[in-house]
Chains A and B, each alone.
Chain A
């Protein structure tokens, strides 16, 4: 659905939007949600730095331990959590993820943030918003809105993790059936 150049353009646009909305991104900390949110956060950070010639703290926030569906699948491997040395207290944290779907991942991320400190504000950037929210969550920055059916799945591939950039739509994979959940499957699936 999306190819390399479109993904790049979408990220560049998000970077500019972040700059605009946060008035220069001075207090911004980018936190990617593993696995594919983390490289996306880094790409955003690079773009913001290019424009402003200033480093933007960037890290990763694994939300596995905060998921509300842990009991539906075997315990899964944890992603990395890396909080930049500045911490998150008083910062504008922009959570970065590949796909926004039910909103449950974001809910978990908000819980995780709560245990880590007290940001001044939290915003959400996603590469793809495919709809079908189950919680009152919306993204502040969206790369592309992709209306999908519940019978479909959206898969994001990234150069850093998969060797190429692409967003694919395919038939839905069964969840919770054995160990082939999104941490093992090729490509990240929406949460």
Chain B
């Protein structure tokens, strides 16, 4: 099986369309793109050929926001299983969130996760470190130790919990400057969301489910943008879900704040109307919002106000979802459907072209996460991380057919465009013909 330093096999990818452009051959050898275009076939010299006619070649996707559940909830997902999902979705690197059990708040835990990822060989796993010990929001975790560990943590987040204490957030933003880190904030004012079950609006009021007001997200984003600018730090906003958030981030960027933001695929497609039947498959944090929010997110992503798409891939076992709404777990699968959802919501609508998709799903997240070797252009000498995508394919999403250990996809039964046919990690195929290698 593929090994991350494997440089034996060479591959000639024939007739793929880099970033959706004119067909070209791409030669992968020694973990890098050896040649691209006219000269590639002549230089192939015994390389295995991959027929990629009609397929779009994209740089390997990078996810800034993945829950791999290991250690602690191996019943929902493991690092190895999550890496299969990632590869199947065209990803070559994922950032594993810190809300595991134990929490990834020490060098020991992040190194364990990093090693499990390396052992899978399917995808680079970049652990995210917790901002505060135990995600408790009280004292800073040993951010420097995690940064200096072999995992080389650069993204810190209490995701799932908001760093709501303004002073603690200020300190974290300042502290991570020492090692070029970034704090990824889960923006959720805790008092405003006590008992919150879904987006606060017409649907929640009718269904009698506790409302999750947009302002609970927006107020934290506004505060943190101001804080980040004040202390001159990098700030990243996780899973932006409201129109107001997009407007605030746009404003913050205009006034020079070093803020970046991500949107989750489900927030680009699904709305709170789906909650009508109380099926917790649609329960997620932040909650599904309104059609107006969806429109604003798509526009923000097109404009670059939202820098990237991040899946917030959150596997849960069946029993956590086959229950009444209020006790169900929050979160949905995302890795294996993200590219299709972006294709459907951004490309088919004319909001992004394929080079835009490469920027939002590979280059930008790699930049934000400092994932060196990822998110690079498809060019000679660059690391051979890429995804081959068939834009003409169609599939009806079947939870059982997903690689993830869990099945909580909100797209069950939906027809989505496109299919990841191949994924290469440093020149080694992790997926070929749509199958994990």
Chain A directly contacts chain B within the complex, with at least one CB pair under 8 Å = no
A residues within 8 Å of B by Cβ?
A: none
